[in-house]
Amino acid sequence: MQLAEVEEKMGKAIEATQRAFNTIRTGRANAALLDRISVDYYGAATPLKSLAGINVPDSSTIAIQPFDMSAMDAIERAISMSDLGLTPNNDGKVIRLNIPPLTSERRKQLAKQASGYAEEGKVAIRNIRRDGMDSVKKQEKASDISKDEARDLQDAIQKLTDSYVKKIDAVLAEKEKDIMTV
């Protein structure tokens, strides 16, 4: 495993953490809130965004317009069963989700959820570091690289790890600020 490969994998871990953060509600309507929702559509778990058009008409409403009207009940059920805590309103053509203002209690829960996602991202980065270090040790053992080169590569991998963990911390701080802003 080369240094560039380690850095690329760490970058992907940051992107995955960012996507997870986007699914957390911050008191404003955001179509990304529905990214994790899967609908039981004709016996198959199907992502909501492939069954319906999702738009945000204003800051407190998400409108979901199914492509197939027969999926309306299944979409409504999937949203009700999700961990979003939102109640869908169905007018026969469009499902509307009203995003209520967050209570301070709920904001604290969401901040805790964001911390959990950040920790998952850090664990992923540490796993990448471990794989990179193991690869360097194997190369050294096979006499492909010298001890000095191995130490330099390990130091570089550790520096990358530290910088990417700091990036996750910065993204988490930004998300927590966003969640706590009334």
- Tokens standing for 61? 């409403």
- Tokens standing for 46? 């199907």
Q: Convert the pLDDT of each residue in 43-87 to its tens digit.
A: 888 888 888 898 888 878 889 999 988 888 888 888 888 877 778
- Tokens standing for 99? 């995003």
Q: What angle do CA 126, 127, 132 make, to 5 degrees?
A: 95
CA 151 to chain centre: 34
* Mean pLDDT to the nearest integer, 21-29: 76
Is pLDDT of 182 > 80?
A: no
The pLDDT assigned to 127 comes to 95
Other beta carbons within 10 angstroms of residue 87's beta carbon come to 12
This prediction has a pTM of: 0.71
Is pLDDT of 181 > 90?
A: no
| Beta-bridge mates of residue 90 | 95
Give rounded-to-5 percent helix, strand, coil for the chain: 60, 15, 25
Q: Convert the pLDDT of each residue in 120-143 to its tens digit.
A: 999 999 999 999 999 999 988 888
Q: 41: pLDDT confidence band, cut at 50, 70 and 90?
A: confident
Is pLDDT of 1 > 80?
A: no
| Beta-bridge mates of residue 161 | none
More confident residue, 180 or 160: 160
Q: 145: pLDDT confidence band, cut at 50, 70 and 90?
A: confident
Q: What angle do CA 173, 176, 179 make, to 5 degrees?
A: 155
Is pLDDT of 112 > 80?
A: yes
Distance of alpha carbon 117 from alpha carbon 100, whole angstroms: 23
Distance of alpha carbon 13 from alpha carbon 122, whole angstroms: 8
**Domains of the chain and CATH, by start:** 3-21+103-180 (1.10.132.20), 28-98 (3.30.1360.40)
What's the longest Cα–Cα distance across the chain?
A: 70
Is pLDDT of 162 > 70?
A: yes
